[in-house]
Amino acid sequence: AQSVTQLDSQVPVFEEAPVELRCNYSSSVSVYLFWYVQYPNQGLQLLLKYLSGSTLVKGINGFEAEFNKSQTSFHLRKPSVHISDTAEYFCAVSDGAAGNKLTFGGGTRVLVKP
Amino acid sequence: DADVTQTPRNRITKTGKRIMLECSQTKGHDRMYWYRQDPGLGLRLIYYSFDVKDINKGEISDGYSVSRQAQAKFSLSLESAIPNQTALYFCATSEVTGGIGELFFGEGSRLTVL
């Protein structure tokens, strides 16, 4: 069984400041890792994913995440946020064994203040 | 037009009523999913379908049923709605090959059971 823990439920941050969203997972097998973003009143869309290879993954809108196998973490970062980054962010894990079934974390709500 | 369309977008109903949420997609994907989103719990998988003849239970299928009427249509039913089924419901699709983990989401159906 897999599980995902997002350590912060809410992260307030000022515009142009950096932000880090923390994600830890547990799994008995190798995993694929993902970050999705949900803007207000919208569905989720993929920000980035780690499948294999380089542990530093770059995604859309200037976000990046680093896979750390020893710490079972996949933290999301952005060096300078914009008001438009206000959204909820979800970390998710898949073992790839049965299609694209994902296990999601509880979400982190980011509020960017001017 | 959206690639993944959910109807209705909002619904208020009473305990004991039967409710159907519908999902249609124009992405041509074989795989379709129904998730439920609750604050702090992230998204949890209710049912998924890898093709028209393949329906599978997710982690929280009790109280729900689904029908895959065609490749493009996947509906979720609550036979007798109860208040703790109040939630935001998402339909999603994915490809069979490639694009591991990338789900494409509809905009959600907000259901309130009084």
Q: Tell me if A24 sits within 8 A of A7, measured CB to CB.
A: yes
Of A23-27, A51-55, B80-84, B99-103, which range is least confident? B99-103
Q: Which residue in B has a C-alpha nearest to residue A39's C-alpha?
A: B107
Please give the backbone phi and psi of residue A83, each rounded to the nearest 5 degrees, phi first: -50, -35
| Residue A105 touches partner B, C-beta closer than 8 Å | yes
Of B40, B42, B108, the CB nearest to A43: B108
pLDDT in tens, B61-93: 999 999 999 999 999 999 999 999 999 999 999
Provide the percentage of residues in chain B whose pLDDT is more than 70.
95
Q: What is the C-alpha to C-alpha distance for residues A73 and A44, in angstroms, rounded to an integer?
A: 21
The token pair at B58 is: 């997710």
The interface residues of chain A toward chain B in range 45-64, judged by CB-CB distance below 8 A, are 45-46, 49, 51
pLDDT, tens digit (0-9, with 9 covering 90-100), for B17-38:
999 999 999 999 989 999 999 9
pLDDT of residue A52: 85
Residue of A100 and A88 predicted with greater confidence: A88
pLDDT, mean of residues A24-35:
86
Average pLDDT for A48-55: 90
> How do the residues of chain B divide into helix, strand and coil, expressed in percent and rounded to 5?
5, 55, 40
Q: Any bridge partners for residue B23, and if so which?
A: B6
Instruction: Give the separation between CA B77 and CA A11, rounded to whole angstroms.
Output: 36
> Which of B43, B94, B107 is closest, CB to CB, to A90?
B43
Tell me how close the Cα of B16 comes to any Cα of chain A, in angstroms.
Answer: 28
Secondary structure (3-state) at B76: strand
In the chain, the amino acid numbered A103 is T
Judge: A100–B31 Cβ closer than 8 Å, yes or no: yes
8 Å CB contact of A105 and B40: no
Average pLDDT, chain B: 92
Rounded CA separation B23/B44 (Å): 17
* CA A79 remoteness from chain centre: 15
CA distance B1 to B27: 12
A55 has pLDDT over 80? yes
Is there a contact between A100 and B94 if contact means CB atoms under 8 Å apart? yes
